[in-house]
Amino acid sequence: MSGSYPNVRMRRTRASGWARNMYRETVMTPADLIWPLFVTEGSGVEEPIATLPGVSRWSIDGIAARAREAVELGIPCVALFPNTPADKRSDDGAEALNPDNLMCRAIKAIRDACGSDIGILTDVALDPYTAHGQDGLIDAAGYVVNDDTVAVLVDQSLNQAEAGADIIAPSDMMDGRVHAIRLALEMNGHPNVQIMSYAAKYASAFYGPFRDAVGSSGLLKGDKKTYQMDPANSDEALREVALDIAEGADSVMVKPGLAYLDIIYRVKQEFGIPVFAYQVSGEYAMIEAAQAAGIGDRDALLMEKLIAFKRAGCSGVLTYHAPVAARILNC
């Protein structure tokens, strides 16, 4: 009988909690999390977002309080997204260049509240500021024009850097914008401001709740398929990443996350650069819906998905569940 048994029993190292912890190949900590936050006008304002249960838009005082919470939880960075009022939106997105806009005021409030204890990542794209909901400037036919948009994105980046942003994250997917932003930062006294490029951002069906959160869903004319990537393509993602690295990106992002684990893995294997995933609004909403329907445990679903990002090669993950995950990891 004993001779027929294998010498190796794979279950030996799974037999107890301490052993499972000791042999665990992939480890996650709160330092692997970035917390996206939505900023709105007013004071003392919390606006729950119906399509993102548990997520709210916060006025600037609330954003500062969330940043302090992040510091206490060990979350190293927050990402800011503004809900620009309709009367400040325009076809040219000029509010993006206002040094007193929501984004800039939120940056300064977080810096005042937390000093250098937290990193501030800022979104660079025009969709929170345009009346038409596109990420860039459009021509008479509604096509998003590349080079004129890049010129505005450069000024938007400088505006945010001068307000105190630590990481500029262009999410627009215009060609050549990383090089232009990097050059402008270097020439204007911001050599240590990082660029985390949305290098492989797909034209995904998972973005709906986010567009509700920033107020662009009802405004969007057409789609974004002329600049965001085709979900069928993976080799193209490697070309996009290679270009952004050559243009000066310090790290790159794959968006969305879970449906593109193969892209994360290929990027990490090919380039060895820090890769981040965005667990986008649709992914978040599905976890919350599973919990509400009683068909899955939110915490277990969340942590399994987050560890999948790490296992695929991510240095970190942007997730609206960041405070939930941090509390679980801190237990």
Mean pLDDT of the chain: 95
Write down the pLDDT at residue 330: 96
Q: Are 133 and 107 in contact (CB under 8 A)?
A: no
Asked whether the predicted pLDDT for residue 196 surpasses 80, the reply is yes
Task: Give the C-alpha separation, 197 to 195, whole Å.
Answer: 6
The residues near 10 (Cβ < 8 Å, ≥ 6 apart) are: none
Query: How large is the average pLDDT for residues 26-53?
Result: 96
* Beta partners for residue 121, in sequence order: 79, 167
Residue 221: is its pLDDT beyond 90? Answer: no
Closest to 77 in 3D by CA, of 112, 39, 120: 120
| Residues ≥6 apart with Cβ < 8 Å to 91 | 130, 131, 132, 137, 138
CB 155 within 8 A of CB 97: yes
Q: How confident is the model at residue 212 (pLDDT cuts 50, 70, 90)?
A: confident
User: Which string of DSSP letters, residue by residue, matches 236-289?
Assistant: HHHHHHHHHHHHT-SEEEEESSGGGHHHHHHHHHHH---EEEEE-HHHHHHHHH
**What mean pLDDT comes out for the span 287-298?**
95
CA distances from 40 to 3, 52, 114 (A): 70, 16, 20
User: At 36, is the pLDDT very low, low, confident or very high (cuts 50, 70, 90)?
Assistant: very high
pLDDT of residue 3: 63
Asked whether 61 and 113 are in contact (CB, 8 A), the reply is: no
Give mean pLDDT, residues 192-221: 90
For residues 18-30, average pLDDT? 95
240 annotated binding-site participant: yes
What is the distance between the alpha carbons of residues 29 and 48, in angstroms, rounded to a whole number? 28
In three-state secondary structure terms, 118 is coil
Q: Which of 201, 268, 305, 310 is catalytic?
A: 201
Judge whether residue 90 has pLDDT over 90.
Answer: yes
Instruction: Point out the least confidently predicted range of 63-67, 206-210, 215-219, 295-299.
Output: 215-219
Residue 2: its pLDDT value, please? Answer: 56
Nearest CA among 177, 181, 180, 174 for reference residue 227:
174
| Residues in CB range of 324: below 8 A, 6 or more apart | 298, 299, 302
Percent helix, strand and coil across the chain, each to the nearest 5: 45, 15, 35
225 included as an active-site residue: no
Name the band, by pLDDT with cuts 50, 70 and 90, for residue 292. Answer: very high
The mean per-residue pLDDT over the stretch 101-117 comes to 97
Task: Please list the alpha-helical segments (H only) found in the chain.
Answer: 17-23, 60-73, 102-114, 146-163, 177-187, 208-214, 235-247, 261-271, 281-293, 298-312, 322-330
Mean pLDDT of 282-294: 95
Is 255 a catalytic site residue?
Answer: yes
How many angstroms separate the CA atoms of 81 and 60, rounded?
Answer: 12
Helix H or strand E encompassing 33? strand 33-39
- pLDDT over threshold 90, residue 164: yes
Options 108, 224, 255, 305, the catalytic residue:
255
Q: Which residue is associated with the tokens 């277990």?
A: 300
Considering the entire predicted model, what is its pTM? 0.95
Show the domains of the chain with their CATH numbers.
28-330 (3.20.20.70)
